[in-house]
Structure formats: C-alpha cells, structure tokens
Amino acid sequence: MFAEHGYHGASLRDISRRIGISHPGMLHHFASKDALLSAVVDRLENHAQGILEAAPRLSADRATFLTALERQWNPRSHPILLLSTLNGEAVSKDHPGRFRLARLRRVHEHVLEDVYTAFAERGELREGIDPGFAARCTVALVLSLAVREETVRTLQRAGHDDTAAQDLAALVATFLVDPRETSDSQQKDPR
C-alpha cells in the first residue's frame, strides 16, 4: 500500500483491510503508522545491505553490472517501487521517514559510485565522467523508471518494446567505454 499510495495515501485501516486482519490486530503489531513505516524502511535497508555486500562483485565487468542493475535495481521490483514512492514523498519536511529514506538513497548512490570508480580505475569509464555523477544519474533513472512502469507502461498498448533494462543499459553505455572501441584502438595501435 505504501508503494502504491505512499505513506500519506495509505491508512492503517486500509492496510489492515487489504491484508485481511482487523484494525485492532494491525495495531497489536504496529502501534502507529510511523511504526509500520519504520518496519518497511528496515526491510528496504536490509535490501540495500545485500547490495552493499555484493558491491565488490558488481564491477567485475560490464555484463555483471548490467545483470546486477536488472536484478538489484529492477524498477519493477517491490523494493525499488517502494523506495521510489517513499523517496518522492520524503521531500516533505514533515515526512516521518525523511532522513532514513535520504540515507537509503545515498547508500544506493554510494554502491554505484564504488562500481563506477572501479570501472574508472581500469580505464573503462569514459573520460570526463565523474563516478559520483554517474551513480546519481543511475539511481535517479532507476527511481524514475519505477514510476514510469506504474504509470506510462500501464497506459501503453501491447507491443511497445521499450523496457527499463534497455534504458538502464543505454545509460550505462553513455558512461562506460564500449569494449569494441578499446579493441579497435588496440588493433590500430598494437602498443
């Protein structure tokens, strides 16, 4: 419900009705909507922790990174949709999860910055691209695509072949050196 309607758009009564328990039963587990939000953000933090632990492996090569983007940052996945919705709401200064959500977004940016930095150290990041900028752009696109998947995608007719994975791959291609460019230059100049 938070992913679909946001924190402010979902009441505890609506949530308890949706999952099939009484409102007092919901209050037994979560004394307030803030307590439920805290538990939801805990789960998002656990998801981010898994990504953080996998970070060293994500920069092994371009294919591994693209696979990780499709799996870990899949805009259609529940954790990313939830993060996108709550993150959008958290611009409000009175949002109860504002600081935790900001920190959570920063963790995702940090992981991706480390990945892009590893590519840069191997000479695989395009010249002039800052790893931090690339990370922020990637997180911004992932969160934007989560919204797109729930809005634009639902209005499109069947047959549209634009996918979130294609968009993410296109973004990565703007940041990383194309391996064909490297092999072409090596063939021309065998030093």
Predicted TM-score (pTM) of the model is 0.87
Q: What is the mean pLDDT of each run of 10 residues along the chain (191 residues)?
A: 91 92 91 94 95 92 94 93 94 94 96 97 97 98 90 65 86 92 53 48
Rounded to whole angstroms, the Cα distance separating 159 from 89 reads 32
Domains of the chain: 34-179 (1.10.357.10)
- Report CA-CA distances (Å) from 132 to 33, 34, 42, 57, 154: 35, 32, 25, 18, 32
Task: Find the radius of gyration of the CA atoms of the chain.
Answer: 20
pLDDT value, residue 187? 47
Closest among 101, 77, 95, 105 to 9, alpha carbons compared: 95
pLDDT value at residue 186:
47
Q: Which parts of the chain fold into alpha helices (H)? A: 2-9, 12-19, 23-29, 33-58, 62-72, 78-89, 98-121, 131-150, 152-155, 164-175, 179-188
What is the C-alpha end-to-end distance of the chain, expressed in Å? Answer: 59
Length of the chain: 191
Q: Are 90 and 101 in contact (CB under 8 A)?
A: yes
